[in-house]
Structure 1
Protein backbone atom coordinates (compact mmCIF):
# COMPACT_ATOMS: atom_id res chain seq x y z
CA UNK A 1 0.00 0.00 0.00
CA UNK A 2 1.13 3.54 -0.76
CA UNK A 3 0.16 6.94 0.68
CA UNK A 4 1.04 10.50 -0.24
CA UNK A 5 0.91 13.20 2.44
CA UNK A 6 0.70 16.72 0.98
CA UNK A 7 0.88 19.71 3.32
CA UNK A 8 1.07 23.49 3.54
CA UNK A 9 2.93 24.97 6.49
CA UNK A 10 3.56 28.62 7.33
CA UNK A 11 5.38 28.31 10.69
CA UNK A 12 6.40 24.63 10.48
CA UNK A 13 3.64 23.23 12.70
CA UNK A 14 1.58 21.67 9.88
CA UNK A 15 4.76 20.17 8.43
CA UNK A 16 5.60 18.58 11.79
CA UNK A 17 2.07 17.15 11.96
CA UNK A 18 2.32 15.87 8.36
CA UNK A 19 5.59 14.10 9.16
CA UNK A 20 4.13 12.61 12.36
CA UNK A 21 1.11 11.33 10.40
CA UNK A 22 3.54 9.82 7.88
CA UNK A 23 5.46 8.08 10.69
CA UNK A 24 2.19 6.54 11.87
CA UNK A 25 1.21 5.51 8.37
CA UNK A 26 4.65 4.04 7.67
CA UNK A 27 3.83 0.94 9.67
CA UNK A 28 2.83 -1.18 6.68
CA UNK A 29 2.36 1.65 4.16
CA UNK A 30 4.96 3.28 1.89
CA UNK A 31 4.65 7.04 2.42
CA UNK A 32 5.77 10.06 0.41
CA UNK A 33 5.59 13.47 2.14
CA UNK A 34 5.42 16.57 -0.08
CA UNK A 35 4.99 20.31 0.43
CA UNK A 36 2.23 21.76 -1.81
CA UNK A 37 4.93 24.00 -3.35
CA UNK A 38 7.07 21.00 -4.35
CA UNK A 39 6.81 20.38 -8.12
CA UNK A 40 6.45 16.66 -7.33
CA UNK A 41 3.20 17.55 -5.50
CA UNK A 42 1.55 19.00 -8.60
CA UNK A 43 -1.85 17.26 -8.66
CA UNK A 44 -1.17 15.74 -12.10
CA UNK A 45 2.34 14.62 -11.09
CA UNK A 46 1.50 12.78 -7.86
CA UNK A 47 2.69 9.20 -7.72
CA UNK A 48 -0.07 6.59 -7.65
CA UNK A 49 -1.20 5.90 -4.11
CA UNK A 50 -3.92 4.09 -2.21
CA UNK A 51 -4.44 7.12 0.05
CA UNK A 52 -3.98 10.86 -0.27
CA UNK A 53 -3.61 12.81 3.00
CA UNK A 54 -3.81 16.60 2.67
CA UNK A 55 -3.42 19.21 5.39
CA UNK A 56 -2.49 22.73 6.35
CA UNK A 57 -3.18 25.57 8.75
CA UNK A 58 -6.60 27.05 9.42
CA UNK A 59 -6.63 30.80 8.72
CA UNK A 60 -9.77 32.91 9.09
CA UNK A 61 -12.06 29.86 9.49
CA UNK A 62 -10.75 27.91 6.49
CA UNK A 63 -7.88 27.13 4.17
CA UNK A 64 -5.31 29.87 3.70
CA UNK A 65 -5.72 32.46 0.95
CA UNK A 66 -3.12 34.84 -0.47
CA UNK A 67 -4.32 37.61 1.88
CA UNK A 68 -4.18 35.43 5.01
CA UNK A 69 -0.72 34.15 4.07
CA UNK A 70 0.48 37.73 3.55
CA UNK A 71 -0.99 38.64 6.94
CA UNK A 72 0.85 35.70 8.54
CA UNK A 73 4.13 36.95 7.07
CA UNK A 74 3.42 40.51 8.36
CA UNK A 75 2.63 39.31 11.88
CA UNK A 76 5.44 36.77 12.17
CA UNK A 77 7.94 37.19 14.97
CA UNK A 78 9.94 34.11 13.96
CA UNK A 79 10.60 32.17 10.78
CA UNK A 80 7.67 31.98 8.40
CA UNK A 81 7.20 30.58 4.92
CA UNK A 82 6.73 33.22 2.24
CA UNK A 83 4.87 30.82 0.01
CA UNK A 84 2.56 31.96 -2.72
CA UNK A 85 0.73 28.65 -3.14
CA UNK A 86 -1.25 27.03 -0.37
CA UNK A 87 -3.52 24.08 0.29
CA UNK A 88 -6.55 25.93 -1.15
CA UNK A 89 -4.90 26.41 -4.53
CA UNK A 90 -3.56 22.87 -4.44
CA UNK A 91 -6.91 21.13 -3.76
CA UNK A 92 -8.69 23.35 -6.27
CA UNK A 93 -6.20 22.17 -8.94
CA UNK A 94 -6.81 18.47 -8.25
CA UNK A 95 -8.43 16.98 -11.36
CA UNK A 96 -11.96 15.61 -11.03
CA UNK A 97 -12.36 11.87 -11.42
CA UNK A 98 -15.25 9.51 -10.77
CA UNK A 99 -12.89 7.07 -9.04
CA UNK A 100 -10.26 9.39 -7.54
CA UNK A 101 -9.62 7.17 -4.52
CA UNK A 102 -9.38 7.62 -0.77
CA UNK A 103 -8.47 10.79 1.09
CA UNK A 104 -8.00 12.03 4.65
CA UNK A 105 -7.52 15.67 5.64
CA UNK A 106 -6.08 17.48 8.65
CA UNK A 107 -5.43 20.99 9.82
CA UNK A 108 -3.62 22.88 12.55
CA UNK A 109 -5.52 25.49 14.50
CA UNK A 110 -5.10 27.67 17.54
CA UNK A 111 -6.19 26.07 20.82
CA UNK A 112 -7.96 29.15 22.15
CA UNK A 113 -10.46 29.11 19.25
CA UNK A 114 -11.37 25.39 19.36
CA UNK A 115 -15.11 26.05 19.49
CA UNK A 116 -15.15 28.43 16.51
CA UNK A 117 -16.54 27.20 13.20
CA UNK A 118 -14.39 26.71 10.15
CA UNK A 119 -11.57 24.33 9.45
CA UNK A 120 -8.99 23.99 6.69
CA UNK A 121 -9.39 20.21 6.96
CA UNK A 122 -13.15 20.33 6.43
CA UNK A 123 -12.77 22.81 3.56
CA UNK A 124 -10.15 20.64 1.84
CA UNK A 125 -12.32 17.55 2.36
CA UNK A 126 -15.29 19.28 0.72
CA UNK A 127 -13.28 20.26 -2.36
CA UNK A 128 -11.66 16.81 -2.63
CA UNK A 129 -15.03 15.04 -2.30
CA UNK A 130 -16.30 17.17 -5.20
CA UNK A 131 -13.24 16.01 -7.16
CA UNK A 132 -14.35 12.40 -6.66
CA UNK A 133 -12.38 11.34 -3.57
CA UNK A 134 -13.94 9.26 -0.82
CA UNK A 135 -13.16 10.16 2.79
CA UNK A 136 -11.38 7.38 4.65
CA UNK A 137 -12.04 9.08 7.99
CA UNK A 138 -13.47 12.41 9.19
CA UNK A 139 -11.13 15.44 9.03
CA UNK A 140 -8.77 15.86 12.00
CA UNK A 141 -7.54 19.00 13.75
CA UNK A 142 -4.27 19.37 15.66
CA UNK A 143 -3.76 22.29 18.03
CA UNK A 144 -1.12 24.97 18.48
CA UNK A 145 -0.84 27.25 21.51
CA UNK A 146 -0.82 30.44 19.45
CA UNK A 147 -0.73 31.50 15.81
CA UNK A 148 2.97 30.67 15.39
CA UNK A 149 2.87 27.67 17.71
CA UNK A 150 4.20 25.70 19.33
CA UNK A 151 2.09 22.60 18.91
CA UNK A 152 0.25 21.71 22.10
CA UNK A 153 1.81 18.98 24.21
CA UNK A 154 0.98 15.53 22.88
CA UNK A 155 -0.24 16.69 19.46
CA UNK A 156 2.60 15.03 17.53
CA UNK A 157 1.90 11.76 19.34
CA UNK A 158 -1.79 12.18 18.50
CA UNK A 159 -0.91 12.88 14.83
CA UNK A 160 1.24 9.74 14.70
CA UNK A 161 -1.60 7.75 16.26
CA UNK A 162 -4.02 9.20 13.68
CA UNK A 163 -1.60 8.06 10.96
CA UNK A 164 -1.65 4.52 12.42
CA UNK A 165 -5.45 4.59 12.44
CA UNK A 166 -5.42 5.66 8.77
CA UNK A 167 -3.15 2.71 7.92
CA UNK A 168 -5.47 0.35 9.79
CA UNK A 169 -8.55 1.75 8.02
CA UNK A 170 -6.77 1.56 4.69
CA UNK A 171 -6.03 -2.16 5.00
CA UNK A 172 -9.68 -3.29 4.59
CA UNK A 173 -10.17 -0.64 1.91
CA UNK A 174 -7.19 -2.01 -0.05
CA UNK A 175 -9.34 -2.86 -3.04
CA UNK A 176 -10.08 0.85 -3.61
CA UNK A 177 -8.79 2.48 -6.81
CA UNK A 178 -5.39 4.14 -6.64
CA UNK A 179 -5.21 7.96 -6.57
Structure 2
Protein backbone atom coordinates (compact mmCIF):
# COMPACT_ATOMS: atom_id res chain seq x y z
CA UNK A 1 0.00 0.00 0.00
CA UNK A 2 1.38 3.39 -1.01
CA UNK A 3 0.05 6.44 0.79
CA UNK A 4 0.64 10.12 0.12
CA UNK A 5 -0.13 12.53 2.96
CA UNK A 6 -0.27 16.15 1.76
CA UNK A 7 -0.48 18.67 4.56
CA UNK A 8 -0.34 22.38 5.23
CA UNK A 9 1.23 23.45 8.50
CA UNK A 10 2.22 26.92 9.62
CA UNK A 11 2.98 26.41 13.31
CA UNK A 12 4.02 22.74 12.99
CA UNK A 13 0.91 21.24 14.62
CA UNK A 14 -0.64 19.79 11.47
CA UNK A 15 2.80 18.46 10.44
CA UNK A 16 3.04 16.64 13.79
CA UNK A 17 -0.42 15.15 13.26
CA UNK A 18 0.42 14.12 9.67
CA UNK A 19 3.60 12.43 10.91
CA UNK A 20 1.70 10.60 13.65
CA UNK A 21 -0.89 9.39 11.11
CA UNK A 22 1.97 8.19 8.87
CA UNK A 23 3.53 6.31 11.81
CA UNK A 24 0.21 4.58 12.45
CA UNK A 25 -0.23 3.71 8.80
CA UNK A 26 3.24 2.18 8.68
CA UNK A 27 2.44 0.21 11.83
CA UNK A 28 -0.89 -0.96 10.42
CA UNK A 29 0.43 -1.98 7.01
CA UNK A 30 1.30 -5.65 6.99
CA UNK A 31 2.22 -5.85 3.30
CA UNK A 32 4.78 -3.08 3.13
CA UNK A 33 4.51 -0.07 0.92
CA UNK A 34 5.47 3.53 1.19
CA UNK A 35 3.90 6.24 3.34
CA UNK A 36 5.12 9.71 2.36
CA UNK A 37 4.38 12.95 4.22
CA UNK A 38 4.73 16.01 1.99
CA UNK A 39 4.11 19.68 2.78
CA UNK A 40 1.68 21.26 0.35
CA UNK A 41 4.47 23.50 -1.01
CA UNK A 42 6.25 20.36 -2.24
CA UNK A 43 3.20 18.27 -3.15
CA UNK A 44 2.83 16.93 -6.68
CA UNK A 45 -0.02 18.26 -8.79
CA UNK A 46 -0.35 14.86 -10.45
CA UNK A 47 -0.85 11.94 -8.09
CA UNK A 48 1.26 8.95 -9.14
CA UNK A 49 -0.58 5.84 -10.29
CA UNK A 50 1.02 3.78 -7.52
CA UNK A 51 -0.62 5.87 -4.76
CA UNK A 52 -3.39 3.77 -3.17
CA UNK A 53 -4.62 6.39 -0.70
CA UNK A 54 -4.32 10.17 -0.55
CA UNK A 55 -4.68 12.01 2.75
CA UNK A 56 -5.03 15.79 2.73
CA UNK A 57 -4.82 17.86 5.91
CA UNK A 58 -4.56 21.43 7.04
CA UNK A 59 -5.40 23.84 9.81
CA UNK A 60 -8.87 25.32 10.15
CA UNK A 61 -8.74 29.10 9.71
CA UNK A 62 -11.90 31.17 9.69
CA UNK A 63 -14.16 28.07 9.76
CA UNK A 64 -12.58 26.55 6.62
CA UNK A 65 -9.31 25.94 4.77
CA UNK A 66 -6.71 28.69 4.97
CA UNK A 67 -6.84 31.62 2.57
CA UNK A 68 -4.10 34.12 1.72
CA UNK A 69 -5.42 36.59 4.31
CA UNK A 70 -5.69 34.02 7.12
CA UNK A 71 -2.17 32.79 6.32
CA UNK A 72 -0.92 36.39 6.44
CA UNK A 73 -2.61 36.82 9.84
CA UNK A 74 -0.93 33.62 11.09
CA UNK A 75 2.46 34.84 9.88
CA UNK A 76 1.96 38.04 11.88
CA UNK A 77 1.53 35.76 14.93
CA UNK A 78 4.79 33.90 14.30
CA UNK A 79 3.82 31.22 11.78
CA UNK A 80 6.13 30.03 9.03
CA UNK A 81 5.26 31.39 5.60
CA UNK A 82 4.03 28.97 2.96
CA UNK A 83 3.86 29.57 -0.77
CA UNK A 84 0.35 28.19 -0.95
CA UNK A 85 -2.20 26.31 1.08
CA UNK A 86 -4.32 23.21 0.64
CA UNK A 87 -7.05 25.33 -0.98
CA UNK A 88 -4.74 26.43 -3.81
CA UNK A 89 -3.20 22.97 -4.18
CA UNK A 90 -6.67 21.44 -4.64
CA UNK A 91 -7.32 23.98 -7.40
CA UNK A 92 -4.15 22.80 -9.19
CA UNK A 93 -4.06 19.04 -8.60
CA UNK A 94 -5.15 16.73 -11.41
CA UNK A 95 -8.06 14.55 -10.25
CA UNK A 96 -7.73 10.78 -10.28
CA UNK A 97 -11.02 8.94 -10.59
CA UNK A 98 -11.52 6.20 -8.01
CA UNK A 99 -8.61 7.22 -5.78
CA UNK A 100 -9.64 7.05 -2.12
CA UNK A 101 -9.01 10.44 -0.47
CA UNK A 102 -9.50 11.21 3.21
CA UNK A 103 -9.13 14.67 4.72
CA UNK A 104 -8.17 15.75 8.22
CA UNK A 105 -7.64 19.03 10.01
CA UNK A 106 -6.35 20.67 13.13
CA UNK A 107 -8.22 23.37 14.98
CA UNK A 108 -8.50 25.12 18.29
CA UNK A 109 -10.70 23.23 20.71
CA UNK A 110 -13.59 25.63 21.26
CA UNK A 111 -17.06 24.30 22.03
CA UNK A 112 -19.71 24.92 19.40
CA UNK A 113 -17.25 26.48 16.93
CA UNK A 114 -18.55 25.69 13.43
CA UNK A 115 -16.56 24.92 10.33
CA UNK A 116 -13.78 22.54 9.48
CA UNK A 117 -10.93 22.57 6.99
CA UNK A 118 -11.42 18.80 6.60
CA UNK A 119 -15.06 19.23 5.55
CA UNK A 120 -14.22 22.09 3.18
CA UNK A 121 -11.30 20.17 1.66
CA UNK A 122 -13.36 17.01 1.09
CA UNK A 123 -16.07 19.04 -0.63
CA UNK A 124 -13.51 20.92 -2.78
CA UNK A 125 -11.77 17.66 -3.72
CA UNK A 126 -15.08 16.05 -4.79
CA UNK A 127 -15.91 19.17 -6.79
CA UNK A 128 -12.46 18.96 -8.41
CA UNK A 129 -13.16 15.38 -9.53
CA UNK A 130 -11.85 13.20 -6.69
CA UNK A 131 -15.08 11.24 -6.39
CA UNK A 132 -13.73 9.14 -3.51
CA UNK A 133 -12.99 12.10 -1.18
CA UNK A 134 -14.40 11.90 2.33
CA UNK A 135 -14.02 13.90 5.52
CA UNK A 136 -11.85 12.25 8.13
CA UNK A 137 -10.85 13.47 11.57
CA UNK A 138 -10.30 16.72 13.41
CA UNK A 139 -7.34 16.91 15.79
CA UNK A 140 -7.32 19.53 18.50
CA UNK A 141 -4.74 22.18 19.35
CA UNK A 142 -4.74 24.33 22.48
CA UNK A 143 -4.31 27.69 20.77
CA UNK A 144 -3.69 29.13 17.32
CA UNK A 145 0.03 28.38 17.63
CA UNK A 146 -0.56 25.12 19.50
CA UNK A 147 0.57 22.90 20.97
CA UNK A 148 -1.40 19.84 19.97
CA UNK A 149 -3.71 18.84 22.82
CA UNK A 150 -2.31 16.00 24.93
CA UNK A 151 -3.34 12.60 23.57
CA UNK A 152 -4.16 13.86 20.07
CA UNK A 153 -0.93 12.63 18.49
CA UNK A 154 -1.62 9.15 19.85
CA UNK A 155 -5.18 9.40 18.53
CA UNK A 156 -3.76 10.43 15.13
CA UNK A 157 -1.38 7.46 15.17
CA UNK A 158 -4.25 5.11 16.01
CA UNK A 159 -6.38 6.63 13.24
CA UNK A 160 -3.51 5.88 10.86
CA UNK A 161 -3.54 2.23 11.97
CA UNK A 162 -7.31 2.14 11.36
CA UNK A 163 -6.97 3.69 7.90
CA UNK A 164 -4.23 1.21 6.96
CA UNK A 165 -6.49 -1.64 8.00
CA UNK A 166 -9.39 -0.23 5.97
CA UNK A 167 -7.24 0.13 2.88
CA UNK A 168 -5.73 -3.32 3.21
CA UNK A 169 -9.29 -4.71 3.29
CA UNK A 170 -10.30 -2.65 0.27
CA UNK A 171 -12.57 -0.33 2.27
CA UNK A 172 -10.86 3.04 1.96
Do both proteins adopt the same fold according to a TM-score greater than 0.5, normalized to the shorter chain? yes
Once the two structures are superposed, residues 149-174 of structure 1 have per-residue CA deviations (whole angstroms, 9 ceiling, x without a partner) of 01000000000011011101111217
Please state if 1:31 is matched with 2:35. Answer: yes
Aligned to 2:18: 18
8 Å Cα contact 2:47-2:94 kept in structure 1: no
**1:132 aligned to 124, 127, 130, which one?**
130
Cα shift readout 1:110-163 (whole Å, capped 9, x = no counterpart): 012x4221111111111112222314x642100000000010000000000110
Name the CA distance, whole Å, in 1 between partners of 2:119 and 2:48.
22
Q: Kindly tell me: are residues 13 and 128 of structure 1, through their superposed partners in 2, closer, same or farther at Cα, counting changes over 3 Å?
A: same
Partner of 1:161: 158
Q: Note the alpha carbon deviations across 1:22-71, whole angstroms, 9 max, x for none.
A: 00011214201100101xx1222656310000101000000001100000
Q: Does 1:144 align with 2:126?
A: no
Q: Secondary structure at the match of 2:132?
A: strand
Distance in structure 2 (CA, Å) of the matches to 1:139 and 1:110: 17
User: In structure 1, what is the Cα distance between the partners aligned to 2:93 and 2:116?
Assistant: 19
Q: What's the counterpart of residue 86 of structure 2?
A: 87
Q: Retained in 1: the 8 A contact 2:101–2:130?
A: no
Counterpart of 2:119 in structure 1 is: 122
CA–CA separation in structure 2 for the residues paired with 1:122 and 1:173: 23
- The answer on whether the counterparts of 1:94 and 1:128 sit within 8 Å (CA) in structure 2 is no
Unaligned runs of 5+ in 1: none
Aligned length in residues: 167
- TM-score, normalised to structure 1's length? 0.87
Structure 1 vs Structure 2 CA RMSD: 1.7
Q: TM-score, normalised by structure 2?
A: 0.90
Q: Separation in 1 of the partners of 2:40 and 2:50?
A: 16
Structure 1 residue 92: Cα displacement: 1.7
Identify the range of structure 1 (46-55 vs 6-15) with the bigger mean alpha-carbon deviation.
Answer: 46-55
In 1, are the aligned partners of 2:18 and 2:57 still within 8 Å (CA)? Answer: yes
Structure 2, unaligned runs of 5 or more: none
